[in-house]
Structure 1
């Protein structure tokens, strides 16, 4: 409330203003140069030139930056004060930036953004005037070719995005300006706005009213509520602008700087990272240790200033390939970019990682699981220096998982040189049934150990975006990249219970592993071999042993293995010892039990566990009773389960059925608290307190007393004793189970219905009938507190200038805080008070969708009420879901139409009822179809199409239902959409890509076949970048799809995209040797095709360090080894510039010409290698014998001269050993020694003097 009271106090101080203090009025665009120390002009609206620095001298060797930099201020700022550090008077755009970027020109743009203003102009007009001003100054032919970079603070970013959209819409007027824009740096721009802006708008309206009645005779000072309205959180205007600008921003460099410090006197951030960033693939977020005021004002060359200046420089350098005026590209990528992409990629993978709820197995009894270490096959497998696989098979309950975890620990401990031990447990009950999930889990584990390998994920992400998680082929390629990296060393991959993986993707995984193992040993780089250890039931092994030689090495765990039998005996002895201590059995009974159970030691661990559990639970403890228990337990697990279930007393049948249904249906292991609530809940309970009053005081005792050995309690979690029990229950035919009342009451449908009922009833408790989460319309907690002062505002004179005074000036940015910032804390509070809320929120719809057709009417009505966002119960669970769920669903679910929510959560019956009763509008229908298609809800798609949803409507990111279904691999939805005659198979989606393009890029072969069956499908249709489906298939490395497309007459395998690159060029540049081999076998393929910059596939492979690709290309008889690009650079030059030593050696060995050739800037490969500070590369070049060490470049300087100035001491040593003259003078008359002294490089000076320098 402190800032609210300050607001009230300062408003009360306002006095009548003198007539001379009229507000600024907008003028036409201006271009006025501001002298270095001159005062800002009185006119502050328009475009002003702040500075123009001279280009770097050609002789200096420095980089010139012939670029225009345009700064756009924010709300309540102006063209000059926004960028000025008041204590020092430094206007950094004028005083610092020009010297950092020689050759640049700096402009600042002003517009009427004051909160108290007469202006009626809108953001659209500000943007239009900005475009007009830029167009006018660029009509001078001298300026027309200069690139433009924008710097935008706060609202200025909104103005810039509007200008970008307007320029696209009016391309005939502003196309030249648009094409010149190469990047933007956002400084605290609230892209999503804030609900607090609602407060500002209301306050502004009140102040306007007061002012009109209390300031007679004074010039009107109205509050610009229109500007505030533009910033309301998730307002329609902001959402529309974000959608329109997103694609435009994708074609330029985007840097988003966000504050990390609160702006005094506030205790929270004005613009959070979530609002200040756009989540674009090409975006570089940069945290700034500044608040919202200081993020755009710098006192000198501070760390924050340098972050911004370097970001601008990177933008200019990165665009230099497309701008002939910019040269000397930096060869090093920004660590900040890598860091951000690492976070982005890790978040993407983590969201799809289903191992978070893995229930670890019990620790093995000491002394067990060690026999396998002495097995001959295990020793042979472990000793191989190449990739290898060992398959451990065993029947259910034999201890495979326990053995897997024991071996993982053994590898970690005994083979300490390798920290690369990866283990994945394919537990069906936790939905880990997909080969893609297996790969994601493994990739995450290895990236967690070797963070630098994120570059392999980044490369895939930059090409395919988030769709990489939908493609097995893409994930497998990433897995190969990270596991075969030469720096990583040996890896142990343990895949446990692989038989529980989904059949199709399990086959893909095993075949991929087999192909990898079949590769010749010489293809392994360094010591990076992989050892696979797979465990499964025998049937899976038998399916592959005969056809895949690489998968034949097998140990049968429970097939007469001496060590396994000994483990069983050790396990029996240990457990009987524990039971005997607890029950105080005599040594005689203890020995009897050991002997009796050991005599049946040919059984499984699970069988023995259940026998011992029965003995431990038995109330009768005579020898006779124990003999009866041991003799009465059947040999097979199915018979054991049937016996235990049948033995449940009649008075506990209903309770047992309820518990089994809950444990059978749950999507993850339930906690004891969760199970207690779910088991206790009845229809008469209306509050959480009602339920707590009836819960069981010892639920673990209750579960074990009713279910006995059928359930396992581990810590605070409870689950079925084994996966085989779940299979047993699901395989039973209730009609045939006449002798078991419990079995008749347990099946998949009933279990889903029971858990759905409990979840829905819980979410509809009276406790949740009030809004927990603040909304735009119903602010709560702090937001509500902020509005308390509105009713207290007095009618009277306003004295002073609230918005512009002193240190408390917040530039109105208190308005930019988001309500969602409070949501995680609210969720934590809800979970602590309501332990079942998390499970109910995240899983109720999943369970209900499985049983809604058989659900009673009252449950269906209850479910529909949870889709009605007019109720607090609905809004609460949706808001909670957004915060806590890992989901593809974006945006604020609580504001969506019930039909859209039903489509997102696959509630087909509810959806049909909503269509029938509500008659939704066309846009709602289209959005629902989009989400159903994207999420793979194929039952819903036909209903929406039949109701009139448009399959060709372009929605989020311009995607249609067909393109988004194809991208995410939803083949059933694709088939349903294609049945509708209205569906345009060639309708473009994001970036102009068709459904076929997305399917080819991600590798969904089944969808590709379905699309190609369509008579009108245009397989060769290019996207906005000119790339065809064939190029996308090549980029994804999907070989079967490549073969399918190459056979089509409509496919041009040498098609060039808008940059002139072909499929071969992309495969070469992306280090896809295996794909390139296949491409070069296609008749008519062009191995030497040059792109718009004249670069050939060889050039791209050399520049990107693709050793494998270089070998493939050099072996081809039609390769043009002498190819040069438009800048006269050859493959040797590109390899040298990036320090790719291995590539360079192969090029030189193959006789590629041009080792000493000059490029268009008179730089030789040696000059590039020196700049990169790559002594090995320099050594390879000078060892060739054809390099002229004393050659001078265009600036009259030798290679040694440059190496000394760069400070690259190791390169200097190489050059001196090769015979470089340390006494040669450049055109300035300076010797290398003089340069070393000038830059105080004493270490280099000593090296030079050792070779006779003076």
Structure 2
């Protein structure tokens, strides 16, 4: 191993590199554990000892495949069982990123970078990029990173780590140190955290990533100690070397051969060099899009500018504005707690969905279903994804996002046709050329072209299949809020369409759906990639953050002492059951309670949404208002085709009609106040707090009130007829 403790860091870190100024990109190769940079990437001919092939440097090898690329071999001290430096993986990563920053200057400092890591070198690259992403002084290197190639890197650890630990212990008198190998045990928590953080970063930036793995065993003990023994096997198996959902490519090699190739015709070289060529091909365009993002279009002005003849078509396609719907939903729910939701970007499921690699070992990844019980944060997660992916795709070429938030309270947001029209509208707004897939039918049928689900679905799929506008990613939130017949219509079509495309890619679209785990939805989506949100470990951390934020607000508002705040937080944690909505309602109840009574009141609040709604309803019915008035009001709000204003609701419920208009509105508002936390007023519209309130009123209101949808519809219809005559 070349000693790195020398005066000139440039010559030691990147040996044998010239100062070419005409290159377009840099490829940085990082060797593995205990390797020598002079030989790590070199194939030695066993039949001709003097013949060596250096695939990163020989003119007929990689330089021919990716011309005008500056190929750098990074050298660092990775010894561990003799004369080892007292170092750990994170420090190796920091050293790599500093060396790159110091080495690159002038015109070379802005070149795109592709990393190649063999074995432990891949882990060093992970740490380097994570460190750079956390420090403003180095973040530009992450921006310039367009791809990473892992060659047998133990991303989830190695079964041979315990053997390395034993060798380190026996070699302690010769200067061994386990700082590098200590955390390489299979599924080590630190390794898993690093992998999660790396995936979150690469998904946020859309860093192309390819994983190669060995298919032959290595005699590891012989390699380490020049002796035989039981240490034979795959040093890094496929599960550890690959990231679910991303490119995974087998090489006909053992671990030490993954980065050594005999010549241009070596099949392993051809596989690896092909990936490097693919990553380098679009490098300049990728960096340019990151540094000059293209804002996501959320109106039709852009489309009309390019396609003025489509004005009437776009007008008739419009039903609702998904962006405005999301903003209204955010106002209704409030801002998410700081630090929540972002973890989803690092999960295997979202990584696979975003990558949509046909070779994925996971279930079909072009559809991802995230499900959960009422109040567990599904819509908040959908809003986060809509905003985060909009930001990511604005900096990523060839990716387009569309989203739709279903809502049972609006007839324009609870049908299968409405969902597809909303998604199609956004695609056309961002890519006006897609209007060509709509205009022929529109010119033939006019607005009726958008009234048929089958017709709109056909337009949508044709627009998605347009490869010139890149891959399409669509998020559909709260599918369960569509009427049951409409759910089935959409789900049957999704299942039929996407099951025909098991290889992935032909449809050129990926769907992410959130809903409750209803059986009728599961029957159609269980064959696709799916996950219960509550089953993610990070979801539990999110509710803790949410509770802590709510308690901090209460502490400031109600002047809680530290002891009261701690006890309130404790009870909330004990009773929340993973339901964010319950925590929010309980904390709203505490806003009207003195600090001395806060814990006692909280302990009396029943667990679970059904029991909490029952208590809130009981409280409303015990006030001065006539129970029948409250019952009538709740029924009308529940069945209305769209949210009403207070004035409209007073008329629909026939409330205080003998009073003046100002008094009628005020008195109706007082009735609404009696139903606090069940009914909310947002943007001067009256809404049920949550879909779960509607479910409760229809099926679980229990001992004091029950509401028949049929009777509520009849009452509203009768009132409308009465107004007309």
- TM-score by length of structure 2 reads 0.51
Matched, 1:575 2:556: no
Deviation track 1:245-298 (CA, whole Å, cap 9, x = no partner) reads xxxxxxxxxxxxxxxxxxxxxxxxxxxxxxxxxxxxxxxxxxxxxxxxxxxxxx
Aligned runs of 1:702-781 on 2, under 5 Å?
Answer: 702=670, 705-731=673-699, 737=702, 739-740=703-704, 743-744=705-706, 746-749=707-710, 751-752=712-713
Residues 831-862 of structure 1 show CA distances to partners (whole Å, capped at 9, x for unaligned) of xxxxxxxxxxxxxxxx42xxx3xx7xxx85x4
Question: What is the aligned partner in structure 2 of residue 1019 from structure 1?
Answer: none
Between the aligned partners of 2:440 and 2:305, the Cα distance in structure 1 is 13
Mark the runs of 5 or more structure 1 residues left unpaired by the alignment.
1-334, 755-846, 866-1254
Instruction: State the alpha-carbon separation in 2 of the partners of residues 629 and 534 from structure 1.
Output: 38
Q: Note if 1:412 corresponds to 2:390.
A: yes
Partner Cα distance (2:499, 2:636) in 1 = 45
Gaps of 5+ in 2: 1-302, 359-364
Equivalent residues of 1:665, 1:752 under 8 A apart: yes
Give me the whole-angstrom Cα distance separating, in 2, the residues matched to 1:469 and 1:463: 12
Distance 2:501 2:578 in 1: 42
Give the structure 1 partner of residue 375 of structure 2: 397
Residue 666 (structure 1) aligns with: 640
Query: What is the match of residue 646 of structure 1?
Result: 618
**In structure 1, the residue corresponding to 2:457 is in which secondary structure?**
helix
Give the conservation status (yes or no) of the 8 Å contact 2:307–2:432: no
Distance in 1 between residues matched to 2:481 and 2:664, nearest whole Å? 38
Q: Say which SS state the counterpart of residue 474 (structure 2) adopts.
A: strand
The 5-angstrom pairing of residues 534-683 of structure 1 reads: 534-540=513-519, 543-544=522-523, 551-559=527-535, 561-618=536-593, 620-622=594-596, 625-648=597-620, 649-654=622-627, 656-671=630-645, 674-675=648-649, 681-683=655-657
CA positional deviation for 1:534: 0.6
Rg: which structure is higher? 1
Q: Which residue of 1 aligns with 2:257?
A: none
Q: How far does residue 480 in structure 1 lie from its aligned partner after superposition?
A: 0.7
SS at match of 1:635: coil
Q: Pick closer, same or farther for the CA change 1:352–1:345 going to 2, 3 Å.
A: farther
Once residues 723 and 481 of structure 1 are traced to their aligned partners in structure 2, the CA distance between those partners, rounded to angstroms, is 33
Taking a change above 3 Å as real, the CA distance of residues 357 and 673 of structure 1, as seen in their structure-2 partners, is farther
Q: Distance in 1 between matches of 2:643 and 2:575?
A: 32
Structure 1 residue 574, shift from structure 2 partner = 0.8
Give the Cα separation in 2 of the matches to 1:554 and 1:375.
12
Output the CA distance in 2 between the equivalents of 1:720 and 1:691: 24
Q: 1:511 to 1:750 in 2, by over 3 A?
A: closer
Q: Which residue of 2 aligns with 1:366?
A: 338
Higher relative contact order (Cα pairs below 8 Å, separated by 6+ residues): 2
SS of the equivalent of 1:533 reads strand
**1:374-407 per-position Cα deviation (integer Å, ceiling 9, x unaligned):** 2222222222246711110100111101100101
Once residues 556 and 394 of structure 1 are traced to their aligned partners in structure 2, the CA distance between those partners, rounded to angstroms, is: 6
Aligned residues: 408
* Cα distance in 1 between the residues matched to 2:631 and 2:304: 56
Q: What's 2:439 paired with?
A: 458
8 Å contact kept, 1:422–1:446: yes
Separation (CA, whole Å) in 2 of partners of 1:336 and 1:638: 49
Q: 1:35 maps to which residue?
A: none
Residue 375 (structure 1) aligns with: 347
Tell me: CA distance 1:351–1:536, structure 2 relative to 1, closer, same or farther (3 Å). closer
2: CA distance between counterparts of 1:682 and 1:710? 22
The TM-score with structure 1 as length reference comes to 0.30
- State how far apart, in whole Å, the 2-side matches of 1:636 and 1:413 are: 36
SS for the counterpart of 1:391 is strand
Describe the superposition over 1:347-386 as per-residue Cα deviations: whole angstroms up to 9, x where unpaired: 2222588997674133312211122222222222222246
Corresponding residue of 1:1232: none
8 Å CA contact retained: 2:647, 2:664:
no
CA distance in 1, matches of 2:504, 2:375: 39
SS of 2:637's equivalent in the other structure is helix
Task: Determine helix, strand or coil for the equivalent of 1:555.
Answer: strand
Report the Cα offset of residue 634 of structure 1.
Answer: 2.8
> Which residue, 424, 428, 453 being the options, matches 2:404?
424
Alignment partners' CA distance in 2, 1:695 and 1:344: 39
The equivalent residue for 1:809 is none
> Residue 447 in 1 paired to residue 444 in 2?
no
Cα distance per residue 1:81-139 (max 9 Å; x no partner): xxxxxxxxxxxxxxxxxxxxxxxxxxxxxxxxxxxxxxxxxxxxxxxxxxxxxxxxxxx
Q: What CA deviation, in whole Å up to 9, does each residue of 1:416-471 have, x standing for no partner?
A: 32662211112112123321111111111111111221111112223444332232
- Deviation per residue, 1:889-941 (Å, 9 max, x gap): xxxxxxxxxxxxxxxxxxxxxxxxxxxxxxxxxxxxxxxxxxxxxxxxxxxxx
Q: Secondary structure at 2:473's aligned position in 1?
A: strand
Q: Secondary structure at the match of 1:516?
A: helix
Task: Report the 3-state secondary structure (helix = DSSP H, G, I; strand = E; otherwise coil) of the residue aligned with 2:396.
Answer: coil
